[in-house]
Amino acid sequence: MASRRGTDRGASRMAKSAVVGLLGACALGVAGAAPEPDPVPRRWQLEVTPGPLRMVSMEVPGQGPRMYLYLTYNVVNNSGEDILFAPAFELANGEGEILRSGREVPQSVTERIVASTQNPFAEDQIAIIGTLLQGREHGKDGVVIWPVTDANPERITIYAAGFSGETATVESPRNSTRFVLRKTLRLDYDTPGDLVRQPLDPIPVREKTWIMR
């Protein structure tokens, strides 16, 4: 029976991947290929240092134990001007599911995870919003959190927006609809094995690239 379940799960993954690929191809057909960021930034850009992904089990009142992924990062403003900092993070698990950070994460869980970093300057995704002053001495440490919805993802990609002022406008060739893309930091993580079996092992960043999204 275990072999049959494994086969069914593999077939399900292949079907989902095919659907995601088809949707991506359709999107490119509608809006055209996304432009690349400028090789030399022409707008403000912040210096961001992401940490590894970590997983933790938390007891949630009325729900029991729940698993969460969280990411810590440091951001410094060397742009030459003070910036209103309001980052947005999304996590994609390779099967078409995209999760906005903080959704379905109780405040009590957020507080405990932030405290677990043992960094007195760490701030959650709401507390960190505000003016980011210039200079390394005014840098901020952030924490973003997601509930684990797939304990055995094929891969994990995190998209972090709000770290650059560069934008690009693209137009649909079909109906002249305009879309505004923002320069976004893409973080790719390898996820070997079952996350539940290795909750204490950090998952390092495999690749860090800037894209327009």
Averaged over 207-213, what is the pLDDT? 96
Q: Would the pLDDT of 193 be above 80?
A: no
Assigned domain for 1 exists:
no
Name the residue range of residue 52's domain. Answer: 34-212
Res 200: pLDDT: 64
Domain count, the chain: 1
Average pLDDT, the chain: 84
The answer to whether residue 26 is domain-embedded is no
What is the residue-wise DSSP string for the chain? -HHHHHHHHHHHHHHHHHHHHHHHHHHHHHH-SPPPPPSS--S-B-EEEEEEEEEEEEEETTTEEEEEEEEEEEEE--SSS-EEE--EEEEE-SSS-EEETTTT--HHHHHHHHHHTT-TTEE-TTTT-EEE-SSGGG-EEEEEEEE-S-SS-S-EEEEEESSB--EEEEE-TTT--EEEEEEEEEEEE---S-GGG-TTS-B-EEEEEEEE-
Per-residue pLDDT tens digits for 108-149: 999 999 999 999 999 999 999 999 999 999 999 999 999 999
pLDDT at 195: 73
Q: For residue 176, is it within any domain?
A: yes
With a threshold of 0.75, does the pTM exceed it?
yes
- Mean predicted confidence (pLDDT) in 48-74: 94
For residue 32, what pLDDT is reported? 53
User: Can you give the pLDDT at residue 87?
Assistant: 98
Q: CATH number for the domain including 203?
A: 2.60.40
Residue 45 located in a structural domain? yes
Residue 97 domain-assigned (yes or no)? yes
Q: Specify whether the CB–CB gap between 143 and 68 falls below 8 A.
A: no
Q: What is the pLDDT of residue 198?
A: 60
Is 62 within a domain? yes
Nearest to 74 by CA among 90, 50, 53, 91: 50
Read off φ and ψ for residue 71, nearest 5 degrees.
-130, 130
Phi and psi (nearest 5°) for 138?
-105, 10
Give the per-residue pLDDT at 175.
78
Would you give the distance in Å from CA 191 to the centre of its chain? Answer: 14
Lowest mean pLDDT of 70-84, 95-109, 115-129, 192-206, name the range: 192-206
Rg (CA), the chain: 19
Query: How many CB atoms neighbour CB 144 within 10 A?
Result: 26
Going by pLDDT thresholds of 50, 70 and 90, the confidence category of residue 38 is confident
Residue 174, pLDDT score = 79
**176 pLDDT band (50/70/90 cuts)?**
confident
Residue 183 resides in a domain: yes
15 occurs within a structural domain: no
Confidence of residue 105 (pLDDT cuts 50, 70, 90): very high
CB 164 within 8 A of CB 213: no
For the cut 50, the answer to whether the pLDDT of residue 26 exceeds it is no
